[in-house]
A and B are shown apart, each in its own frame.
Chain A
Amino acid sequence: MEALRSPADNPTPNRDPNPNSNSIAPSSPVWPTIDGPLGLSEEDSVGYARRFYQFGFALLPWLWAVNCFYFWPVLSHKRSFPQIRRYVIRSAIGFSVFSAVLCAWALTFAIGGERLFGSVWNQLVMYNLADKWGLTGWD
C-alpha cells in the first residue's frame, strides 16, 4: 500500500527541509536523530550521545549499538554535528570491538565443545547450569 510508510523511511524527509535546494550539494541533515522532527534537537543530542557512550562502558555494548542506531544521520553524513559525531564514532568502535570479542568467545565455546575445553565445558554450558541451579523451575 502506498500509504504505508515504514518508520525507517524517516531520514528521507529530514535530510532536506526545503525541497527547493539543489541536489548537487549534499545537504546536511537538520535532525541528528533517526526520528527526525520527532527526536531530539541538536543541543539535547550532545548530552544524550555522551551519556549513552559513557554508560556503555558498564559492559553494555548493546547500548553503544542503540546509540549508533539512534544517531544514524550523524554517522552517515560526514562532517555533520561534530560534537555528537565524536561520541557516536567511539560508540561504534566500542560496539564492534566488544561484539567481535564476544562472538569469538561464543563461537569458540560452541564449536570447540568438549574437545577443546575438556570437562570445564560441561560446567560452563548454560543448560547444565540451568538444571543445576533450578532456574527453569517455574513452580
Chain B
Amino acid sequence: MAQSSRPPSVLDSLGEEIIKIVTPVSICMFLVVILVSVLDSSSSSSSTSAASMATIAYSENDSDSSWDKFIGAVWNSLAFVAIVTVVTFVLVLLFYLRCTRFLKFYMGFSAFIVLGFLGGEIALFLIQDFSIPVDCITFFVVLFNFAVVGVLAVFVSKMAIFVTQGYLVVIGMLVAYWFTMLPEWTTWVLLVAMALYDLAAVLLPVGPLRLLVELAISRDEDIPALVYEARPVTHRDSGHEGRVVQRRVWRERPNSAHDPAEVPKLNSTVNPALHGNSTNDSMSNTNAASIANENVTNTVAVQETLSQCLEGESELSAPLIDHRINVSPQGHEDAVPSENLALEGIGLGSSGAIKLGLGDFIFYSVLVGRAAMYDFMTVYACYLAIIAGLGITLMLLALYQKALPALPVSILLGVLFYILTRLFLEIFVVQLASNLLMF
C-alpha cells in the first residue's frame, strides 16, 4: 500500500485511536461472554444468586411476579447507587486532602483481592467443571504469581504498557463476571441506574466525578483510579523519537518543579473504612459458611459475600469514579507538524491517549454477559449497540473536549437492543431458521 507518500489523513489517526480503545473493550466483553457460557452451562447452581450489597434491599426468587421483581430490582439499584455515591464522595474528599499514598496503596490492595480471590474462585470453578487435575501447590504458586505481578502492574507507574493493559482488562473481566451473578432483573435495572448516575455525576456541577475532574485539572495531577489508558499514537512525522514521551495524559507539566512526591499516574482505589474489617470477616465467615454449607442462613451468606462484595465494591467504586473518557490536549510544547495541529480541532491530539475508566469496561461486559445468559443473538445485538454507543461518545468527546460519561449512551442503547431483540428479533430469526429460509 502507499506509505508515507500521502500524509496521514484524519481517518488514519482517528481510526487508530478508536481502534486502540475498542479493542480492549471488545476483548473484555468476549472473555466475559466465554466465561459466562462455559461456566453457566455446566454449573448446576445457576439458580442461587450471589447475595451481596447489590441485593440487600430485595433478593429475587423465581416465584415472585414480574412486577414484584421489578420493584425489588429498583430498590436494589437505588441502594447500590446510594452506596456508590457515598463512596465516590469519600474518594473526592480523600483526593482533596491529598491522601494519594493511601489511595494508591489501597488500589494495589484491592487489585490483589480481585485478582487473588475473585480470580482464584473463578479458576476453581473452571477446575471443578472440567476436572483439571491440578494440585494445590502448583495452583497456589501460579495464583500468587498472577496476583502479585498484577498488583505491581497497577501500582508501579512505569511497567510494560502491555502488561498493565492486560491486567486491567483481566480485572475488569473478573469483576464483570462477578456482577453477572446477580439476579436478572436487578442486573438490568442496576445497569440503567448506573448509566443515569454516571450522567448525573459527570455533568451536574455538584456531581462527585465532576468535582474530581476539576480538582485534578486545577492541581494538574492524574486522578487516582483504575483507568485504562490506550497507548498514545505516535505519528511518523511527529518528532517524538529521541525523547521519552510522557505518558501523562491530563496535560504537559510546563516545569518539572512540581512536587515529585505526586503520584505520576493514576491507579488507586477508594477504601471504604469498612474494608479493613472485611478481610477478617471473610476469613472467619468462610469457615462458618463451609459448615453451614448450602443451608447457610441469610445473614451469614450476606455477611460473607458482603465482605467479598465490599472488596469488589471498593475496587469498583474507584473505576466508577473515572468512568468517563477524557482526552488530552496536545501535550507537547515543541513544534508540531501542521497535520497534527489540524487534528487538534477534532480533539484527539496525536500524542494524547484516550482514557477509559475501568468501570466502563465492567458495566459493558456485565451487559453483554447478561445478554449471553439468554442467547448469542442478544450478545451480537448488544455488542453492536455498545460499540456504536462508544463511537458516539467518542464523537461527542471530540466535539465538547471535556470529560464525558461513557456509560449512558452505550448502556441505554444496549438495554434497548436487548429488549428489542428478545421481543421481536428472536421470533423472526427462529421462524426463518426453522423454515430453512435464511441463516
Q: Note whether A and B form a binding pair.
A: yes
Contact stretch, chosen from B146-154, B355-363, B385-393: B146-154
| Bound form: Cα–Cα A105–B146 in Å | 19
The answer on a CB contact under 8 Å between A38 and B247 is yes
Beta-carbon nearest neighbor of A19 in chain B: B241
The answer on a CB contact under 8 Å between B245 and A38 is yes
CB of B134 closer than 8 Å to a CB of A: yes
The answer on a CB contact under 8 Å between B286 and A134 is yes
A109 with B149: in contact, given A17-B241, A139-B301 (CB under 8 Å)?
no
The answer on a CB contact under 8 Å between B305 and A138 is yes
| Bound form: Cα–Cα A59–B159 in Å | 20
Question: Hey, which chain B residues are within 8 Å of A2, CB to CB?
Answer: 1
Beta-carbon nearest neighbor of A71 in chain B: B160
CB of B65 closer than 8 Å to a CB of A: no
Q: How would residues 284 to 324 of chain B score, 1 for a CB under 8 Å from any chain A CB and 0 otherwise?
A: 00110110010010000100110010000000000000000
Question: Hey, which chain A residues are within 8 Å of B134, CB to CB?
Answer: 106, 109-110, 125-126
The answer on a CB contact under 8 Å between A3 and B243 is no
A38 with B232: in contact, given A48-B158, A69-B163, A130-B128 (CB under 8 Å)?
yes
Contact size range, B: 35 or more
CB of A24 closer than 8 Å to a CB of B: no
A60 with B149: in contact, given A30-B242, A124-B135 (CB under 8 Å)?
yes
Contact stretch, chosen from A39-47, A77-85, A86-94: A39-47
Q: B161 touches which one: A30, A38, A60 (CB < 8 A)?
A: A38
CB of B121 closer than 8 Å to a CB of A: yes
- Give the most central of A33, A41, A135, A138: most B CB within 10 Å: A138
Beta-carbon nearest neighbor of B289 in chain A: A137
The answer on a CB contact under 8 Å between B161 and A35 is yes
Contact size range, A: 35 or more
CB of B401 closer than 8 Å to a CB of A: no
Q: A59 touches which one: B15, B141, B243, B244 (CB < 8 A)?
A: B141
The answer on a CB contact under 8 Å between A109 and B138 is yes
The answer on a CB contact under 8 Å between A106 and B138 is yes
**Main SS of chain A's interface residues?**
helix
The answer on a CB contact under 8 Å between A124 and B290 is no
Q: B149 touches which one: A38, A63, A124 (CB < 8 A)?
A: A63
Task: Identify 7 new A-B residue pairs, CB closer than 8 A, beyond the known A17-B241, A37-B244, A139-B51.
Answer: A13-B234, A38-B244, A66-B159, A105-B135, A109-B138, A139-B48, A139-B289
Residue numbers of A with Cβ under 8 A of B are 1-5, 7-8, 13-14, 17, 30, 33-35, 37-41, 44, 48, 55, 59-63, 66, 69-70, 102, 105-106, 109-110, 113, 124-127, 129-131, 133-139
Return 30 A-B CB contacts under 8 Å, by A number. Answer: A1-B15, A2-B1, A3-B16, A5-B16, A7-B162, A13-B241, A34-B162, A35-B160, A37-B234, A39-B158, A39-B160, A39-B244, A44-B158, A62-B146, A63-B152, A69-B160, A69-B163, A105-B137, A106-B135, A125-B136, A126-B132, A126-B136, A127-B127, A133-B286, A135-B124, A136-B125, A137-B286, A137-B296, A138-B181, A139-B50
Residue numbers of B with Cβ under 8 A of A are 1, 11-13, 15-16, 19, 48-51, 120-121, 124-125, 127-128, 131-139, 141, 144-146, 148-149, 152, 158-163, 181, 231-232, 234, 240-245, 247, 286-287, 289-290, 293, 296, 301, 304-305, 308
